[in-house]
Copies of this chain bind each other. A is one copy, B any other.
């Protein structure tokens, strides 16, 4: 088993990564402080893993569960309210712990519910997709979408524990595995060139779901992210580099409708756009953009804008992005492969050229 610590002072917490962790009652008993637990999961994951988890939780006084509809389209205030309904109907008090069993949507909503229920209760993450294991389970960003913008309503809220059971990846659809790999590649691009090179060599093992390769990639991704988050928990500065490709990606998701493009797919195309813009600024080489393209292509990830989106669609959608500050669009660009920076002065013409180079009309 790998284990690492996300270092945030009194809000620090451990991430445990390994096989068979869901069935290990010990870890849960150790990290859950109260006697009440609500498991939040979705209708896809419930039949696969809920029963096993409930067995591990059998020693608690009150254990309830709620299975939400699956998908980004349901990451809304209305669905969030179903978690509050359950907590109140089952009379959970302030000592309860919310356990998120599922992907990023479940993790984000459960974490936000934990942040808000009675102004804050404990929270444990059990991410079951590669994407959520390497991304949303580290760093405490929680929230829901609004029809006018993704993740516009939320909180920074840290869990007590993240439990990553590699075995849950055996049931993950290929397309979602690839979407998770997009975020793994991102860490190489923004802060870990050595890991990027490792991925170039080991991508086939990841796609074949080699447990050892997966565990290594997850642990390294979490460590990379934890280091960035520890420096800047509330994203006042450097943490924003984790949004590499995301501002473009959010525009794609917003225009396509949440769920039609997976988050990781939108981020993949968005990373190419951001890399292209970095090249136009003269910071990275065409060869660096090509290495990214090759890696994404191996993982069957998109590198082009959806055909139905024009430059104006991006510019409009990006103007409400959270990265806008006092009217200025801040983008994450690369000074070099493995070295991302937040940049507030991208010339509009270069931005448009980068979008066109990626197929936006």
Q: Hey, what's the 0/1 contact readout for A140-177 against B, CB within 8 Å counting as 1?
A: 01010010110011111000000000000000000000
Residue A12, interface by CB 8 Å: no
CB<8 Å pairs between A and B, sample of 29: A35-B326, A36-B326, A61-B327, A77-B77, A77-B80, A81-B146, A84-B146, A84-B153, A88-B146, A88-B149, A89-B148, A91-B319, A91-B320, A93-B325, A94-B324, A94-B325, A95-B326, A115-B155, A116-B143, A116-B154, A116-B155, A117-B152, A118-B152, A118-B154, A118-B322, A119-B154, A119-B156, A119-B322, A120-B155
* Interface flag for A356 (CB, 8 Å): no
- CB contact list, A86-133 vs B, under 8 A: 88-89, 91, 93-95, 115-120
Q: Is A234 an interface position by the 8 A CB rule?
A: yes
Q: Complex: how many Å from CA A115 to CA B112?
A: 12
**Separation in Å of the A267 CB from the closest CB of chain B?**
19
Interface residues of A in 316-344 (CB under 8 A from B): 319-320, 322, 324-327
Contact between B81 and A77, CB atoms less than 8 A apart: yes
Is A310's CB within 8 Å of the partner chain B?
A: no
Contacts of A325 in B (CB 8 A): 93-95
Instruction: Kindly provide the distance from the CB of A57 to the nearest chain B CB, expressed in whole angstroms.
Output: 16
**Are B154 and A94 touching (Cβ within 8 A)?**
no
Point out which of A35, A85, A93, A327 has the most chain B C-beta atoms below 10 A from its C-beta: A93
Cα(A271)–Cα(B172), bound, Å? 56
* Chain A residues proximal to chain B, CB less than 8 Å: 34-36, 61, 77, 80-81, 84-85, 88-89, 91, 93-95, 115-120, 141, 143, 146, 148-149, 152-156, 234, 319-320, 322, 324-327
**Residue of chain B at shortest CB distance from A319:** B91
Residues of B within 8 A of A149 (CB): 88
In the complex, chain B residues whose CB is within 8 Å of the CB of A155 = 115-116, 119-120, 155
CB of A76 to closest CB in B, whole Å: 10
Known: A88-B148, A120-B234, A152-B118. A324 touches B93 (CB 8 A): yes
Chain B contacts for A95, CB-based, 8 A: 325-326
Do A327 and B154 have beta carbons less than 8 Å apart? no
In the complex, the chain B residue whose C-beta lies closest to that of A141 is: B119
Task: Report how far A319 CA is from B91 CA in the complex, Å.
Answer: 8
B-chain residues with CB within 8 Å of residue A153 when the two chains form the complex: 84, 116-117
